[in-house]
A and B are shown apart, each in its own frame.
Chain A
Amino acid sequence: MSQVSITRKISTHESTGVTLLLIGVALAYLLVFLGMPLIVVFTQALSKGWGLYWKALQEPDAWSAIKLTFLVAAIAVPANLVFGIAAAWAIAKFEFKGKSLLITLIDLPFAISPVVSGLVYVLLFGAQGWFGPWLQAHDIKLIFAVPGIVLATIFVTFPFIARELIPLMQAQGKEEEEAAVSLGASGWQTFWRVTLPNIKWGLLYGVILCNTRAMGEFGAVSVVSGHIRGMTNTMPLHVEILYNEYNFVAAFSVASLLALLALVTLVMKSLVEWQAKRSGEPLHHGA
Chain B
Amino acid sequence: MSQFRALSVLPGFNLALGFTLLYLSLIVLIPLSALFVKSATLGLGGFWHVVTGDRVLASLRVTFFTSFVAAVINAFFGLIVAWVLVRYTFPGKRIVDALVDLPFALPTAVAGITLATLYAPNGWLGQYFAAHDIKVAYTPLGIVVVLTFIGLPFVVRTVQPVLADVEAEVEEAAASLGAGRLDVFRRVIFPAIYPALLTGFALAFARAIGEYGSVIFIAGNMPYISEIAPLLIVAKLEQYDYAGATTIAVAMLLISFVLLLSINALQWWSSRRGNR
Contact = CB atoms under 8 A, between A and B. Distances in A.
Contacts of A287: 104, 153-154, 157, 203, 207
Given A12-B184, A102-B20, A119 B245 contact: yes
Given A14-B181, A25-B80, A212 B246 contact: no
B27 A158 contact: yes
Interface string A90-106: 10011111000010011
Given A116-B253, A236-B213, A265-B105, 5 more contacts: A30-B100, A96-B4, A102-B24, A130-B34, A266-B101
Nearest to A94: B13
Interface residues of A, number: 102
Contacts of B103: 34
Interface string A22-38: 11011101101111111
Nearest to B176: A8
B163 interface: no
B34 A124 contact: yes
Interface of A: 8, 11-15, 18-19, 22-23, 25-27, 29-30, 32-38, 40-41, 44, 82-83, 86-87, 89-90, 93-97, 102, 105-106, 108-109, 111-116, 119-124, 126, 128-130, 151, 154-155, 158, 174, 177-178, 181-182, 186-187, 190-191, 209, 212, 215-219, 222-223, 235-237, 239-240, 243, 248, 251-252, 255, 258-259, 261-263, 265-267, 269-270, 285-287
B2 to A, nearest CB: 11
Secondary structure dominating the interface of B: helix
B246 A119 contact: yes
A255 B110 contact: yes
Given A106-B24, A265-B105, A285 B157 contact: yes
B5 interface: yes
Contacts of A182: 9
A114 B172 CA distance: 47
B105 A37 contact: no
Given A40-B118, A177-B10, A287-B104, A111 B213 contact: no
B168 interface: yes
Secondary structure dominating the interface of A: helix
Contacts of A240: 109, 217
B213 A218 contact: yes
